Amino acid sequence: MEKKLANFTGNIVFVGFGSIAKGVLPLFLRHLPVTPDRIKVVAADPDHEKIAEKYGIEYREIRLTQENYRSILDPLLKRGDFLVNLSVFVSSLALIGLCREKEALYIDTSIEPWEGGYTDTGSSASERSNYALREEALALGRSIKGGPTAIVCQGANPGLVSGFLKQALLDVARDNGITDRPTTKEEWANLARQLGIKTIHVAERDTQNTSVRKKRNEFVNTWSIDGFIGEGLQPAELGWGTHEKHWPSDAGEHESGCKAAIYLNTPGAGVKVRSWTPLEGAYHGFLITHSESISIADYLTVRENGKIVYRPTVHYAYHPCDDAVLSMHELAGKNWQEQPVKRLMRDEIEEGHDELGVLLMGNEKGVYWLGSHLTIDQARESTPHNNATSLQVAAGVLAGVIWAIDNPDMGVIEPDDIDHERMLEIARPFLGEIVGSYGKWTPLENRNWPFEEDIDKSDPWQFKNIRVAS
């Protein structure tokens, strides 16, 4: 028998049973003290693969809505149970609210609105942002101190990357002869400042591939296509650093909240940025909005006498698998009218890896990337029903769930609030190789050729240098 990592006597209710939940389930059964009869699933699609049935788990095919979610979920939840929300199109806020009432634990990997919320042009871009969703979740947390732990955004990214970030800061500190170990938010922020970190990317290159080519009018990806299109059509968002000198012409500021992030009045799926990973080298990624862009920037903000004196720029630079790049290209070509066919690749993947980590820029030693390099073969060897992408996420969920069980009354929690050593300790066995690697890359490398470009040579780490103009 595998080692159980926590003491848990409640029931588990999955909402959503897509690529991530299917990958999480075997981890739960292996590493949590639960038996299949204590797990239930509510999701909108039939379980085509019959995984729930195979494991002997109750599966209810129901499309949750604003109207029905209470009546359906209320009877399934009691004090000490765990609601694991791995759905799309279901409001995280609604589910967190319900869990607080029922004194149940909660986790998700993305703060989601009800269906259509991401592209509801009746609301402003600011209202459709992850910034707004995060502020709402945090406000709910503040409204009652403590309460059952509800972890938002604890997958791989958002999720594990907040742990990678702290490990990376410690590594760079060590290489700069700094041995103090931060223990508070303020100390982490000061360390980042001391190390001269100006910009942080979540730098991801997914190379998973199959010889079954993407067809016309088909969107292919290694995780939720609805999820990717949804966040891709939200405004691009980034934590906005104090070193930035060039305000993007299409940027907008939020009127309330932490103000750690800004948004662009354009879908992230249409914004490309320059980034770097150890295996890929220089690449163009999509600036897709993610909660960690905001939470990390917020977490690392240094205030002196109430004035903000330091914050890094933080955003995602996502190079999805090749077929997803082509899918996004096609989607853009149709002015964001969704492809009628969606294919989530898992068992047909023939090769590749997901190289996912944080890239710290600004320290004198060069850029530093730390993250997981997980191949499809490693993922398959480790855990059934996964590809490399879903297993990285599942590892983050497992870490979050165990932390929540061990810390059950912390209220609304973000990955940045979680002890990163414990988080990575739980996740590490599933992440393939954990790589920490310096590079000499800057976004000014090979620029100004064969045409002069509008760049700021005085500081490579300006967002202006990182964004790809067309």
Ligand X SMILES: NC(=O)c1ccc[n+]([C@@H]2O[C@H](COP(=O)([O-])OP(=O)(O)OC[C@H]3O[C@@H](n4cnc5c(N)ncnc54)[C@H](O)[C@@H]3O)[C@@H](O)[C@H]2O)c1
CB of 451 to a copy of itself, least distance (A): 5
Q: Which CB sits closer to a copy of itself, 236 or 358? A: 236
Among 144, 212, 309, 341, binds a copy of itself (CB under 8 A): 212
Regarding 112 and contact with ligand X (CB under 6 A), the answer is yes
CB of 86 to ligand X, least distance (A): 5
CB of 234 to ligand X, least distance (A): 11
Q: How many helices, marked H, and strands, marked E, lie in the chain?
A: 14, 21
Q: Which does 114 bind (CB under 5 to 8 A by kind): ligand X, a copy of itself, none?
A: none
Per-residue mark of binding to ligand X, 3-22 (x: CB under 6 A): ------------xxxxxxx-
Tokens encoding 224: 């939720």
User: For residue 171, which phi and psi values (nearest 5 degrees)?
Assistant: -60, -50
CB of 296 to a copy of itself, least distance (A): 24
Scanning residues 56 to 85, which ones bind ligand X (CB under 6 A)? 63-64
Scanning residues 133 to 162, which ones bind ligand X (CB under 6 A)? 155-159
CA 89, distance to chain mean position in Å, is 17
Per-residue mark of binding to a copy of itself, 95-124 (x: CB under 8 A): -----------------------xx-x---
Tell me the C-alpha distance between 41 and 54, whole Å: 13
Cis peptide before 450 (omega within 30 of 0): yes
Q: Which does 13 bind (CB under 5 to 8 A by kind): ligand X, a copy of itself, none?
A: none
Among 214, 254, 343, 385, binds a copy of itself (CB under 8 A): 214
Regarding 338 and contact with ligand X (CB under 6 A), the answer is no
**b/e map of 195-225 (b: 16 or more CB within 10 Å)?**
bbbbbbbbbbbbbbbbeeebeeebbbbbbbb
Q: Which of 314, 334, 336 is nearest to 269 (CA)?
A: 336
Regarding 326 and contact with a copy of itself (CB under 8 A), the answer is yes
Scanning residues 225 to 264, which ones bind a copy of itself (CB under 8 A)? 233, 235
Tokens encoding 379: 């993922």
Q: 419 in the Ramachandran plot: left (φ > 0), alpha (ψ -120 to 50) or beta?
A: beta
Tokens encoding 467: 């964004």
Tell me the C-alpha distance between 78 and 28, whole Å: 19
Q: Which CB sits closer to ligand X, 87 or 442? A: 87
Among 113, 159, 239, 267, binds a copy of itself (CB under 8 A): 267
How many CB atoms sit inside 10 A of residue 287's CB? Answer: 28
How many CB atoms sit inside 10 A of residue 410's CB? Answer: 18
Regarding 207 and contact with a copy of itself (CB under 8 A), the answer is yes
Tell me the C-alpha distance between 240 and 454, whole Å: 20
Number of residues assigned to the chain? 470
Regarding 333 and contact with a copy of itself (CB under 8 A), the answer is yes
Per-residue mark of binding to a copy of itself, 387-426 (x: CB under 8 A): ----------------------------------------
Where in 320-458 does DSSP place strands (E)?
341-344, 353-361, 367-375, 412-413, 433-439
Count, residues near a copy of itself per rule CB under 8 A: 48
Beta-carbon contacts of residue 115 (< 8 Å; ≥ 6 apart): 89
Regarding 30 and contact with a copy of itself (CB under 8 A), the answer is no
CB of 164 to a copy of itself, least distance (A): 22
Tell me the C-alpha distance between 446 and 469, whole Å: 15
Q: 159 in the Ramachandran plot: left (φ > 0), alpha (ψ -120 to 50) or beta?
A: left
Tell me if 27 sits within 8 A of 84, measured CB to CB: no
What residue ranges bind ligand X (CB under 6 A)? Answer: 15-21, 42-45, 63-64, 86-90, 109-110, 112, 155-159, 223-224, 226-227, 344, 393
Q: Which residues bind a copy of itself (CB under 8 A)?
A: 118-119, 121, 125, 128, 207, 209, 211-214, 216, 233, 235, 265-267, 270-272, 274, 280-284, 319, 322, 325-326, 329-330, 332-337, 445-447, 449-452, 468-470
